[in-house]
Amino acid sequence: MRKLLGAAIVLMLAMVSGARAADRPKENVEADASTRQVAITSSFTGTEILVFGTVENSVQPSPEAGTYDIIVVVEGQPAPAVVREKSRVAGIWINTSSVHFEAVPSYYAIASTRPIDEIADKALLDAKQIGFDHISMAPVGADEADAASLQTSREALIRLKEQQRVYVRRDFGATFIGRSLFRATIALPPNVPVGPLTARVYLFKEGKLLGQYESRVNLTREGIERFIHNFAISQPLAYGVSTVLMAVAAGLAAAFAFRKPA
């Protein structure tokens, strides 16, 4: 009798706990960037943007608890890319093959609370294109190269972009500063491609995606940089002639300034 009574009590407690869990509001993420517009001028030497946010209905007891994981991705507009392979022919290094990718992010930065492979499985990372190894890079021609060559070209392209500092990865770049508050700093190098950036924030718990948030950051040319760019695009012939005349004038001025006395 006592055993039956104990089992009934345990069952009732489990039902109450399950009901409370069902009634608990779902966790979600709200985020934003510290700025929505970055001016690119002739003196632009790079900058940083702060992506911050909060976990709604957080059950995390402390920032160090590790209940949640955050992944922040800042991505530029996709653009075509070409990877060329050089080979030694008759003692000369020349381009012997190339792989053309249809659309590759012009800029890609990722910051996370820990390595992304420890946060979610490959299928989910592939579906959301989170991480260098999970970005979709489709070749222009399906039969252009075999799988091994495509993988080699892909790795070479990512390595080149990392050297140019337009692909940035920080495995512990996102941190919690409270039970629900988090932040991540994303560096924009001087050579960042001008155009809109998409900032996406993903909230994970025990490998499951609980929510995501997206915002935009616009990179726009300002000042003389904008004038020269618009002039070159709208009047290419006049721009070409003016640059040649400026080069000739600079050469004549240098020759006059440094001429030897007779």
**170-227 per-position pLDDT tens digit:** 999 999 999 999 999 999 999 999 999 999 999 999 999 999 999 999 988 775 555 4
d(CA 60, CA 29): 13
Whether the per-residue pLDDT at 20 is higher than 50: the answer is: no
All domains in the chain, ordered by first residue:
27-221 (2.60.40.1930), 223-262 (no CATH)
**60-83 per-position pLDDT tens digit:** 999 999 999 999 999 999 999 888
Cα separations in angstroms, 95 against 76, 99, 158, 161, 238: 29, 11, 19, 20, 34
Return the structure tokens found at 140.
Answer: 């222009």
Q: What's the pLDDT at 41? A: 83
Q: Grade residue 19 by pLDDT with cuts at 50, 70 and 90.
A: very low
Residue with the two structure tokens 């089992």: 7
| DSSP state at residue 46 | -
Contact 29, 44 (CB under 8 A): no
208-221 β-sheet, strand order: 37-40, 208-221, 196-205, 69-75, 108-112, 167-170
Contact 167, 133 (CB under 8 A): no
- The angle at the Cα of 145, spanning 86 to 161, to the nearest 5 degrees, equals 55
Q: Grade residue 33 by pLDDT with cuts at 50, 70 and 90.
A: very high
Q: What's the pLDDT at 1? A: 52
Q: What's the pLDDT at 15? A: 52
b/e for 28-53, b at 16 or more Cβ within 10 A? ebebebeeeebebeeebeebebebbb
Cα separations in angstroms, 125 against 99, 116, 208: 24, 8, 11
Q: What's the pLDDT at 21? A: 44
51 Cβ contact list (under 8 Å, min separation 6): 31, 32, 33, 34, 72, 74, 111, 183, 184, 185, 186, 199, 201
| Exposure of 233 in the CB half-sphere (CA atoms within 13 A) | 6
d(CA 31, CA 49): 13
233 Cβ contact list (under 8 Å, min separation 6): none
Whether the per-residue pLDDT at 233 is higher than 70: the answer is: no
Cα separations in angstroms, 239 against 231, 243, 253: 7, 6, 21
Residue 108: count other Cβ atoms within 10 Å of its Cβ: 22
- Residue 211: strand pairing partners: 203
Total-model pTM: 0.76
Least confident piece of the model among 40-44, 118-122, 220-224 = 220-224
d(CA 202, CA 74): 12
Q: What's the pLDDT at 224? A: 57
Return the structure tokens found at 255.
Answer: 């020759």
Residue 179: phi and psi, rounded to 5, are: -60, -35
